[in-house]
Structure 1
Amino acid sequence: MRFDTVIIGGGLAGLLCGIRLSESGQRCAIVSRGQSALGFSSGSLDLLSHLPDGQPVSDVAAAITQLEQHFTAHPYALLGANRVLNYARQAQTLLADCGLRLQGDAETPHQRVTPLGTFRRAWLSPQEVPLKPETTLRTGVVGISGFLDFQPQLAAATLRKRGIDAHAEEIELPALDTLRDNPSEFRAANIARQLDTAEHYTALYQALRPLSEQYQALWLPACFGLMDSIVFDRLNQQLACPLRLLPTLPPSVPGLRMQHLLQQRFVQSGGSWMPGDEVIRADISGDQVTQLWTRKHEDIPLRARHIVLASGSFFSNGLIASRDRVREAVFDLDVLQSDNRSDWYGDDVFACQPWHQFGVQTNARLNGLRHGRALSNLYVIGSVLGGFDPITQGCGGGVCAVTALHAAQQITDQGGEQ
């Protein structure tokens, strides 16, 4: 099978790159092994919250300049501040075009409210997610009886410590009894499949209406809106106070919705989606990847002028750790890592861990390096890259979006004709 570009991995980075390439006229395929990390995410994206030395970031452009000077392995340092901010703005437009209603901007990060009642810096957040209030509103933090993935008492107590007039409430929804009988089924995504249907709307509204008359704002766990925002919009039109939603423990409804809308846009733009498959090996000649072999099509290679590796980090098996080294799973690319196993981790489990920054090494064009030599038609994007810590630096979503669009730009600049 022949394509202009084959992308390995169907998460945020792979999908954004695939959409951009398909909409530019390329024949593009995404090979997706399984559920991506998007389904486990909050639906919010971060750009850059802290430098590697722990210094908080208030000016993204200035912070990237510091990365270029002192932390040169960081993906942002490879691209430079102007490119990073330009791609971030492009990503905002692209995500909006895909039907994702997000609040925020690259130049003006915000503080979103987490399910624990804390505040976390973000670049983009779903429109329904509450932001740190500038004024004290009497807020009802509402749980659903029997739903263990969100604790309104804990969230409300934490919010009160931060000056928010928050109070825990709970609603009963008998329509969910069939799920409630099995705790393993009583999860946000399954609840959303029930509450998103028209037949259960009235019961949900009636449970929330009295509370909306007691409070100036209601915050619920994000347990509806799996595919769209119809229920959220309707409730906000009819309730007596504004309603906002807090992402829950995985699987996360906002993350699943982002996955669905991006995947839908990729297919609608002409892309080929190959789910439940994985690339198991590749043929390389000189500095070029010539063909890929997948588990489902073991006798039919995929041939493309360009290859994009968006396979994810350890979570998605893009990186594999053995006792003595970390390796990249498909091409055995060079991986930034510590040679001594004892240097992989620190004693404080809550501190930044060195292994978080392990990942594939590339040149400035994001061509993957293999034995120190760049593979000229292979681009590496997203969380499989090395040199950054997505958690403590608060840049995971940004690195995925920015590197995805940079790789797509390199490919479209060359043209995609076979």
Structure 2
Amino acid sequence: MRFDTVIIGGGLAGLLCGIRLSENGQRCAIVSRGQSALGFSSGSLDLLSHLPDGQPVRDLNSAIALLAQHHPAHPYALLGAERVRHYAQQTQTLLADCGLALQGDVDTPHLRVTPLGSFRRAWLSPAEVPLKPDVSQRTGVIGISGFPDFQPQLAAASLRKRGIDAHAEEIELPVLDTLRDNPSEFRAVNIARHLDAPEHFAALYDALHPLSQQYDVLYLPACFGLTDSSVFTQLNQQLACPLHLLPTLPPSVPGMRMQFLLQQRFIHSGGSWMPGDEVLHADIQNDRVTQLWTRKHEDIPLRARHVVLASGSFFSNGLIADRDRVREAVFDLDVLQCDKRSDWYRDDIFETQPWQQFGVQTDAQLHALRQGKAINNLYVVGSVLGGFDAIAQGCGGGVCAVTALHAAQQIAAQGGEQ
């Protein structure tokens, strides 16, 4: 099978790259092993919150200049501030075109409320996620009886420590009794499949309406809206006060909705979605990938002018930790890592861990390096890249989006299949 571009990995980076290429007229395929890390995310994206030394980022341009000076392996340092800003703005437009209503902008990061009642800096957040509230608002934090993945008392107590007049409440929702009987099934995604049904809207509204008359704003766990925000919109039109949703423990409904909408956009744009498959190995000749061999297609190789590696980090098995080294799973690419295993981690689990920055090495154009040489038609994007700590630096979503669109831009500039 022949394509213009084959993308390995169906998470945020792979999907954004695939959508951009397919909508540019390329014949593009995404090979995806299964559910990506996107479904386990909050649905919010961060761009860059902290420098590696822990210093908060106040200005994106100056922060990336410092990265280029002191941390040249960081993906943002490789691309430069102008490109990072350009691709971040393109991402905002692309996500909106995919039907994702997100709040935020590259120049105006915000503080979103977390399920623990703390505040976390973000670049983009789903429209239903609450931002740092006005201290004068009387806030009702609503739990669902028997739901183990959100504790309203904990969230309300944390908000009160931050000066917010917050109080915990609970609703019963008998329509969920069939799930409540089995604690392993009483999870946000399964609840959403019930509450998204039109016949259950009245029960949800009836439970929330009295509380909406007592408070200035309500926070509820994100337990509806798997494919769209219609229930959320309808509730806000009818309740007496605004309603916001807090993502729960993974899998997350907002994260799964982002995955679903991006996947649908890729397919509708003409892309070939290959789920439940994985690339096992590749043929490389003259510093170019010539063929990809997958588990499902066995003796039928995938041939493409360009290949994009968006396989994710350790969570998605894009990186594999052996006893003496970390390796990239498909091409055995060069990996940025500490030589001694004892240097991979620090004893204090609350410190930033060196292994978080392990990942594939590339040149300035994001071409993969293998034994020090660039593979000219293989681009590396997203969390499989090395040189950054997505959690400590608050840049995971941004790196995925920016590098994906940079790779797509370079590929599109070279034209389609020949």
Q: In structure 1, what is the Cα distance between the partners aligned to 2:375 and 2:391?
A: 29
- Find the counterpart in structure 1 of residue 109 from structure 2: 109
Query: What root-mean-square deviation, in Å, do the aligned CA atoms of Structure 1 and Structure 2 show?
Result: 0.5
Matched, 1:146 2:155: no
- Find the counterpart in structure 1 of residue 131 from structure 2: 131
Once the two structures are TM-superposed, the CA of residue 58 in structure 1 deviates from its matched residue by: 1.0
Q: In structure 2, what is the Cα distance between the partners aligned to 1:102 and 1:182?
A: 34
Q: For 1:309-343, what per-residue CA distance to the aligned partner results, in whole angstroms no more than 9, with x for missing partners?
A: 00000000000001100000000000000000000
Once the two structures are TM-superposed, the CA of residue 382 in structure 1 deviates from its matched residue by: 0.1
Matched, 1:182 2:182: yes
- Between the aligned residues of both structures, percent identity stands at 82
Letter in 2 for 1:44: S
Letter in 1 for 2:248: T
Q: For 1:218-257, what per-residue CA distance to the aligned partner results, in whole angstroms no more than 9, with x for missing partners?
A: 0000000000011000000000000000000001000000
Query: Post-superposition, which runs of at least 4 consecutive aligned residues in structure 1 deviate over 2 A?
Result: none
Question: Aligned ranges for residues 141-290 of structure 1 at < 5 Å?
Answer: 141-290=141-290
Q: In structure 2, what is the Cα distance between the partners aligned to 1:416 and 1:354?
A: 40
Letter in 2 for 1:283: D
Is 2:142–2:219's contact at 8 Å kept on the other side of the alignment?
A: yes
Q: In structure 2, what is the Cα distance between the partners aligned to 1:389 and 1:81?
A: 18
Question: Aligned ranges for residues 9-24 of structure 1 at < 5 Å?
Answer: 9-24=9-24
Letter in 1 for 2:155: A
Once the two structures are TM-superposed, the CA of residue 135 in structure 1 deviates from its matched residue by: 4.0
Once the two structures are TM-superposed, the CA of residue 136 in structure 1 deviates from its matched residue by: 2.2
Q: SS where residue 7 of structure 1 aligns?
A: strand
- Find the counterpart in structure 2 of residue 87 from structure 1: 87
Q: For 1:347-372, what per-residue CA distance to the aligned partner results, in whole angstroms no more than 9, with x for missing partners?
A: 11011000000000000110000000
Once the two structures are TM-superposed, the CA of residue 133 in structure 1 deviates from its matched residue by: 1.4
Q: In structure 1, what is the Cα distance between the partners aligned to 2:416 and 2:370?
A: 24
- Find the counterpart in structure 2 of residue 328 from structure 1: 328
Letter in 1 for 2:24: S
> Could you tell me the TM-score, scaled by structure 1's length?
1.00
Letter in 2 for 1:322: D
Q: In structure 1, what is the Cα distance between the partners aligned to 2:259 and 2:119?
A: 24
Letter in 1 for 2:352: C
Q: In structure 2, what is the Cα distance between the partners aligned to 1:130 and 1:281?
A: 44
Q: SS where residue 362 of structure 1 aligns?
A: coil
Q: In structure 2, what is the Cα distance between the partners aligned to 1:134 and 1:17?
A: 38
- Find the counterpart in structure 2 of residue 345 from structure 1: 345
Q: SS where residue 311 of structure 2 aligns?
A: coil
> Could you tell me the TM-score, scaled by structure 2's length?
1.00
Structure 1, gaps ≥5 residues long: none
Once the two structures are TM-superposed, the CA of residue 82 in structure 1 deviates from its matched residue by: 0.2
Letter in 1 for 2:75: P
Once the two structures are TM-superposed, the CA of residue 134 in structure 1 deviates from its matched residue by: 3.5
Q: In structure 2, what is the Cα distance between the partners aligned to 1:142 and 1:61?
A: 40
- Find the counterpart in structure 1 of residue 300 from structure 2: 300
Matched, 1:417 2:389: no
Q: In structure 2, what is the Cα distance between the partners aligned to 1:232 and 1:134?
A: 21
Q: For 1:168-218, what per-residue CA distance to the aligned partner results, in whole angstroms no more than 9, with x for missing partners?
A: 000001110110111110000000000000111100000000000000000
Letter in 1 for 2:259: Q
Letter in 1 for 2:212: S
- Find the counterpart in structure 1 of residue 61 from structure 2: 61
Is 2:135–2:165's contact at 8 Å kept on the other side of the alignment?
A: no
Letter in 1 for 2:170: E
**How many residue pairs get matched?**
418
Q: In structure 2, what is the Cα distance between the partners aligned to 1:318 and 1:301?
A: 20
Matched, 1:398 2:398: yes
Letter in 2 for 1:136: S
Q: SS where residue 214 of structure 1 aligns?
A: coil
Q: For 1:284-330, what per-residue CA distance to the aligned partner results, in whole angstroms no more than 9, with x for missing partners?
A: 00210000000000110000000000000000000000110000000
Q: SS where residue 15 of structure 1 aligns?
A: helix
Letter in 1 for 2:139: T
Q: In structure 2, what is the Cα distance between the partners aligned to 1:60 and 1:42?
A: 23
Is 2:291–2:303's contact at 8 Å kept on the other side of the alignment?
A: yes
Structure 2, gaps ≥5 residues long: none
Q: SS where residue 157 of structure 1 aligns?
A: helix
Letter in 1 for 2:341: R
Once the two structures are TM-superposed, the CA of residue 31 in structure 1 deviates from its matched residue by: 0.1
Letter in 1 for 2:340: N
